[in-house]
Structure 1
Amino acid sequence: MTSTVEIGQLWIPDSLDGRDAKDFLDAVEVSRKVRMQVWGSDDLAYTPLEKLLELSDPYERQVILVARVDGRIVGTVDIALPLADNMDLAEFTLDILPDFQRRGIGRQLLEAAEHFAKSEGRTIVLVDTNHPASSLRGNADEQLVPGSGLGSVPLASREVDFAMRMGYTLQHIEQFSSCILPLDSKLVAELELEAEDTNAGRYSLHHWTDRCPEQWLEAVAALENAAGELATEGGETPAGAQEELVFDAGVLRQAEDAAVAQGRRTVVTAVEHVASGRIVGLTTIGVLAQRQDVVFQDDTIVLQEHRGNKLGLLIKVANMQRLSEQFPDARVIYTWNAPENRYLLTVNRQLGFTTAGVTGLWQKELPGTGPNVTSSE
């Protein structure tokens, strides 16, 4: 007998202690098991508290739909709706328990998510597919190349086949890499000497954690604005996204406050051009509230006119060293890079990063907006 699949909106509890938190805990566990299936570890999975804290992000509204079979939550789709920019965009993260894949549950969840996004006035949807390094071997005719022309995903992938059948187009690839921490002290000394020999004392470093010093606030805000025009690290502007959040001192402080409120720590190294007194580059590492053993490389930015001086190498080595000093439990750092960002990929290889896999970014345009639908809780 075929079981009925029920789709509904997940109730978000105020805390994890009450009886009303069971469904939320079950939904988070679905996502953890899917990451275990894909990556062989749960390094990229949220803990329940981390996920609960993330849902308070003031820059993004999140709604979670779940699929139940015989009352059990077997699939989830996280719908992220940006609130400060890209107001036509919705980003989906779809997870189906391994034992319930290939039963049409993913299609039903994704269709429900598209309907919800459409009712919220969103016209562009992004989803991603994840592919470990072991799945990337194969001939060119066994790979799907994105619209950008760089990188590929395996055509044999179940996720790739599903995305294409659901009408999504592969737009972009990000290379996913990892590095064991702490860095070897001999390697650090060699890389620091290489970078310092190239910049010849024309630059100086500044460090902070969580909150930018007041003296650099406007300069860092300007650098973040410039990042929209530069190749950066830790994630690209989504395909189809046109609007950019404009940073100023106030917006930067709000972003810092939001991260702290979610229990996250941010380790930052910036580089100053001594002659001009200008901040011309920075790199940041994010540390989660509940898991300080797994950390994430966020933006690395160097202004175009100051490239060629190995500043990316200089600031990344210094920041990874500071990270290990402040958070000695950190054992691995992960990052995502666009394949065209060859300089930072080269720097990462020097630091000891190895390819863990790739993420494919897929886009679909929804055919106009429809009337609002009442979401069930």
Structure 2
Amino acid sequence: MAETAGMTVDEAKTVVVEQLWVPDNLDSPKAGDFLDAVEVARRVRMQTWGSDDLAYTPLEKLLEFSDPYERQIILVAKVDGVIVGTVDIALPLADNMDLAEFTLDILPEYQSQGVGRQLLEAAEQLARSEGRTMVLVDTNHPATSLTEIPEDQLIPGSGPGFVPVSSREVDFAQRAGYTLQHIEQFSSCVLPLDSKLVADLQAEAEDANAGRYRLHHWTDRCPEAWLEAVAELENAAGEVVHGEDGEEEDSAVEVTGMVFDAAVLRETEDAALAQGRRTVVTAVEHIESGRLAGLTTISVLAHRQDVVFQDDTLVLQEHRGNKLGLLIKVANMERLSEQFPDARVIYTWNAPENRYLLTVNKQLGFTTAGVTGLWQKELPDRGPKVTSSE
């Protein structure tokens, strides 16, 4: 797709929006635009968070395009042939076929000049042409931007938390017709954990469960003996609401609508490995019944092992109240540091209503870095077809 809009930057320079060509490898002589687009996203994260920990490396971003569950398209905005903004469009392929997820990044010096609006409109047009009728976007707000002034707090449609009304990103989302649906709290923790802290937390968790549970660990691929049990755990977790040992976030079943079985789990493992990602898992077995009561996972990026991400933490409803969330998270973070000693920081996102795991995270040393606002907009059923001109 390539199209030119009538609006201009500084009244003289025309903005051109086009679809980014994705190279087969980074050594391609045509990979320049792709590398520049990745750099735009990195600079935006530096502006927001003060570091590039949450930015993809070029190779990591390239590997994202091999995800069998999601089609990715990137539109770029150019001024005088230079990329000044990008919008990543993620189109789920296995479920939620009406959904498109956008990530919009505009270089700081081109923000508030209409570039973002033009990119967003082009992305919405493309989504409509793909039959998508619901769009999700997010806005990110560091802790320093959050205020105690009620007039500067925009409350979401569901759940607690807020984003600052005075934020440029909030104003942009509202003007574009998006509605704030939910808030996620964003936290980080320095690794490795202090050894005395680990010992104290392990003792606290073990006292609570009184030897009735046993831990199991694996990396990347679930042992065959536990495959069906993990599938059952994932499916059962999607049927319950947040509680005292609630999920790290809404469970994968709740969010995606996927029904897990052994084959699906193996496919997701294969997809992660194909992208070079490693997965560290700790599960907990209820000894008397021989069934898994919960598990927690941490993801390690393929080409940047100093920054890691906490994924789901799942504990079955009937086993809550035994500090199993604390037990498995401490054990998994210790195992992570043993296997990946270069890991220096772990990040996680939590629903603010998930008070139990927020408390566990605080015990582990997580501190709030900010919040992410999740915004939603419904699109007309159909739109004009967007054509490619590669």
TM over 0.5: yes
Partners of 1:181 and 1:224 in 2: how far apart? 28
After the TM superposition, which residues 11-90 of structure 1 pair with which residues of structure 2 at under 5 Å, given as runs?
Answer: 11-90=21-100
Partner of 1:298: 311
Name the amino acid aligned to 1:312.
Answer: G
Tell me whether 242-251 or 42-51 shows the greater mean CA deviation: 242-251
Of 344, 351, 371, which aligns to 2:357? 344
**Alignment RMSD, CA only?**
1.3
Post-superposition offset of 1:137: 2.1
Task: Show CA shifts across 1:245-280 (max 9, x none).
Answer: 111000100100010110000000000000110011
Q: What are the ranges of 5 or more consecutive residues in structure 2 without an aligned counterpart?
A: 1-10
Contact 2:251 2:312 in 1 (8 A): no
Matched, 1:151 2:164: no
Partners of 2:261 and 2:67 in 1: how far apart? 19
Partners of 2:120 and 2:55 in 1: how far apart? 20
Name the amino acid aligned to 1:144.
Answer: L
Partner of 1:327: 340
Partners of 2:85 and 2:115 in 1: how far apart? 7
Contact 2:248 2:357 in 1 (8 A): no
Name the amino acid aligned to 2:341.
Answer: P
Post-superposition offset of 1:19: 1.1
Contact 1:77 1:94 in 2 (8 A): yes
Partner of 1:170: 180
SS in 2 for 1:346: helix
Partners of 2:56 and 2:78 in 1: how far apart? 21
Name the amino acid aligned to 1:76.
Answer: T
Name the amino acid aligned to 2:345.
Answer: V
SS in 1 for 2:74: strand
Q: What are the ranges of 5 or more consecutive residues in structure 1 without an aligned counterpart?
A: none
SS in 2 for 1:367: coil
Matched, 1:353 2:363: no
Partners of 1:263 and 1:242 in 2: how far apart? 24
Contact 2:191 2:345 in 1 (8 A): yes
Name the amino acid aligned to 1:318.
Answer: A
Partners of 2:256 and 2:107 in 1: how far apart? 35
SS in 1 for 2:121: helix
Post-superposition offset of 1:2: 1.7
Partners of 1:372 and 1:245 in 2: how far apart? 29
| Cα gap change, 1:340 to 1:119, in 2 (>3 Å) | same
Post-superposition offset of 1:376: 3.4
Partners of 1:162 and 1:294 in 2: how far apart? 30
After the TM superposition, which residues 171-210 of structure 1 pair with which residues of structure 2 at under 5 Å, given as runs?
Answer: 171-210=181-220
Post-superposition offset of 1:237: 6.8
Matched, 1:114 2:124: yes
Of 255, 260, 267, which aligns to 1:254? 267
Contact 1:7 1:68 in 2 (8 A): yes
SS in 2 for 1:19: coil
Task: Show CA shifts across 1:6-38 (max 9, x none).
Answer: 001000000000111000000000000000000
TM-score using structure 2 length: 0.94
Contact 2:184 2:350 in 1 (8 A): yes
- Size of the alignment, in residue pairs? 375
Post-superposition offset of 1:55: 1.1
SS in 1 for 2:375: strand
Partners of 1:214 and 1:267 in 2: how far apart? 16
Contact 1:233 1:335 in 2 (8 A): no
TM-score using structure 1 length: 0.97
SS in 2 for 1:372: coil
Tell me whether 362-371 or 258-267 shows the greater mean CA deviation: 362-371
Partner of 2:386: 373
Identity %: 79
Post-superposition offset of 1:149: 4.1
Contact 1:86 1:242 in 2 (8 A): no
Contact 1:143 1:153 in 2 (8 A): yes
Contact 2:285 2:294 in 1 (8 A): yes
Post-superposition offset of 1:45: 0.1
Partners of 1:359 and 1:87 in 2: how far apart? 24
Post-superposition offset of 1:222: 1.3
Partners of 2:348 and 2:235 in 1: how far apart? 21
